[in-house]
Structure 1
Amino acid sequence: MKKLNWLMAAGVMLAGLQTAQAMSLEQAATGDHRSEANKARNEYRHPVETLKFFGIEPDMTVVEISPGGGWYTEILAPYLREQGQLIAAGYDPGSDVEYFRKNAARFVDKLAANPDVFDKVKVTIFQLPDRVDIAEDGSADMVLTFRNVHNWYMRGGGEENLARAFNAFFEVLKPGGVLGVVDHRLPADKPARDQEASGYMHEEVVIKAAEKAGFKLAASSDINANPKDTADHPKGVWTLPPSLALKEENKDKYQAIGESDRMTLKFVKP
């Protein structure tokens, strides 16, 4: 009888463990909690491959910077929900800029609308130049930012804004922690001035900003490369899907190109 009870208890423990580990990256990326439109972007954004490249694990504390509409949050939140912690550092709801206030409210509403997925997400503020207290110093295993660096550069701060951002990321990471960056890549032979309005960034500018903050480049990947993208479109990167800024004008052409050519960089805090 004692042996039977022990086996039953072990079975309960095993079932609990399996439940805690049930949500894989693949399941999180394709789950019913995501809209069909968002899941369709997986083809271009390769979230599972990208997150595996960065080395994410389900028990990590991860800070997602400027989550926007929450495209990656939809994957990170359920993956980290049972064992880890997701901190979403987004717009300031008290900002003087209406765009930031509205998008901060939309993001919070999105989380509240699906507590089964997002109930454990912690929301903080990241808004340059001054609101960079995204988490406790030395508390995070990983900081991730997807298609954001160009915005920080373009909003009047240039490389000074990049320095503020990367310094903040360095401070919140534990020694050995990872910074993962994905952004639209400006070809090396294009002039630096193209970064001011196109939405594309020179990869070397991003690498130098991270290294200046103390990071070491651990690896780069072409997971999100797109050789069809020439990065010289009439409305910058927003000419391409999913924005399609020209609407119906040459729509088939830009859809055939797909989403932008992107750098995928993995940095480590020594």
Structure 2
Amino acid sequence: MVLGTATLLHAQTVPLPAYVTNALSDNTRPAAETQLDNDRKPAALLVFAGIKPGDKVADVMPGEGYFTRIFSKVVGAEGHVYAVVPESYASKASPEKLKSIRALVADPAFNGNTSLEIRPYDRLDVGAPLDAVWTLQNYHDVYGAVSVFSVSGSTGPAQAAELDAAVFKALKPGGVYVVVDHAAEAGSGGRDANTLHRIDPATVIAQAKAAGFVLEAQSALFSNPQDKHDKPVFAPDIKGHTDKFVLKFRKPLR
């Protein structure tokens, strides 16, 4: 955790890049989302990830597009953001679940550099080498084969491994892969992925390394020692304040 903590402290003690502050203050962001900034800490995460103007970024499993919007404003006209929805999710989830992200990519404030891509886990080719791939609080859903994320005839761990391999292939050499998720009990592996919606970070690290990635940094930004890892992440007394890990992997230059 030392490298990640040092990175985070550095981000908090130096002025934020203008492209970060401009993206976060952009008036096209919905007020309902800007109100979440204090808890979601997008400025620190952007600095940690190193996403910058001109980058091509895949936001994998983007939810309603909170980070998709921010990335769009950071990368600007020379970059592109691909909101990637798993094929299994798109085919099983209710249309209402994709309504927000579809509206986002159709919005003139974002559609110049943002697109929706529906892909199976083993194919993330978007037509251009990516600088960064980002996935927030959904790796456990894939690994745990949670209902709408599951693929018939495939185990969850295999799906997650396919995702990692596809990310590795889609990234340019030197590109980064950032995974943020709810922490499970150390040593539990993927035991709680389907039930408590948590996963042991060691399991994510092992899978990413098996795909060829190097773990570059970890951050304690969302560390919460009061979370005992024994409740579902939706439990009222812990929801929104779970102990979360932040991992940054890099694809080697050669």
Normalised TM-score (structure 1): 0.76
Distance 1:226 1:29 in 2: 25
User: Which residue number corresponds to residue 126 of structure 2?
Assistant: 135
Select the residue among 155, 167, 170 that pairs with 1:169: 167
Distance 2:168 2:213 in 1: 7
Distance 1:192 1:67 in 2: 22
User: Which residue number corresponds to residue 123 of structure 1?
Assistant: 116
Distance 1:136 1:152 in 2: 24
Runs of 5+ in structure 2 lacking a partner? 1-16
User: Which residue number corresponds to residue 195 of structure 1?
Assistant: 193
Structure 1 residues 207 and 254: CA distance shift in structure 2, 3 A: closer
Structure 1 residues 43 and 187: CA distance shift in structure 2, 3 A: farther
2:35 aligned with 1:53:
no
User: Which residue number corresponds to residue 12 of structure 1?
Assistant: none
Bigger radius of gyration among the two: 1
Q: Give the deviation of 1:181 after TM superposition.
A: 0.9
Distance 1:73 1:262 in 2: 20
Q: Give the deviation of 1:91 after TM superposition.
A: 4.4
Structure 1 residues 38 and 158: CA distance shift in structure 2, 3 A: same
Runs of 5+ in structure 1 lacking a partner? 1-21, 245-252
Aligned residue-pair number: 228
Distance 2:191 2:105 in 1: 38
Alignment of 1:97-108 (within 5 A): 97-99=92-94, 101-108=95-102
AA in 2 matched with 1:67: P
Normalised TM-score (structure 2): 0.80
Alignment of 1:12-91 (within 5 A): 24-91=19-86
Secondary structure at the residue paired with 1:51?
Answer: helix
Q: Give the deviation of 1:150 after TM superposition.
A: 0.7
2:208 aligned with 1:210:
yes
2:228 aligned with 1:237:
no
Distance 1:158 1:94 in 2: 14
